[in-house]
Amino acid sequence: MNQEKRMEFEKRIGYSFKDPELLVTALTHSSYSNEIRLKKQECNERLEFLGEAVLELISSEQIFRNHPDQPEGDLTRIRASYVCEPTLALCAREICLGDYLQLGRGEDRTGGRERDSILSDAMEATIGAVYMDGGFESAQRYVEEFILKDIEKKSLFYDSKTYLQEIVQRDLKKLEYVLLKEEGPDHNKSFEVGVLIDGKQLTTAVGRTKKKAEQAAAYEAILLLEDKK
Per mean pLDDT, which of 39-43, 124-128, 165-169 is the most reliable? 124-128
63 half-sphere exposure, CB direction, 13 A CA radius? 23
SS3 content of the chain, % helix, strand, coil (to 5): 70, 10, 20
Of 45-54, 64-73, 154-163, 175-184, the one with minimum mean pLDDT is 154-163
pTM of the complete model: 0.79
**Burial of 65 by CB count in 10 Å (0-12 exposed, 13-18 middle, 19+ buried)?**
exposed
Average pLDDT for 218-226: 88
Instruction: Give me the pLDDT at residue 185, please.
Output: 83
Average pLDDT for 68-79: 92
How many whole angstroms separate alpha carbon 213 and alpha carbon 224? 17
Instruction: Give me the pLDDT at residue 176, please.
Output: 95
Instruction: Give me the pLDDT at residue 158, please.
Output: 67
Instruction: Give me the pLDDT at residue 100, please.
Output: 97
28 φ/ψ angles, rounded to the nearest 5 degrees: -105, 110
216 φ/ψ angles, rounded to the nearest 5 degrees: -65, -40
102 φ/ψ angles, rounded to the nearest 5 degrees: -95, 110
How many whole angstroms separate alpha carbon 107 and alpha carbon 184? 16
Amino acid letter, residue 80: A
Angle at 95 between CA 152 and CA 118, to 5 degrees: 90
- Do residues 193 and 176 lie in contact, with contact meaning Cβ atoms separated by under 8 Å? no
How large a percentage of the chain has pLDDT more than 90? Answer: 66
Statement: residue 155 has pLDDT above 80: no
Q: What is the mean pLDDT of the chain?
A: 91
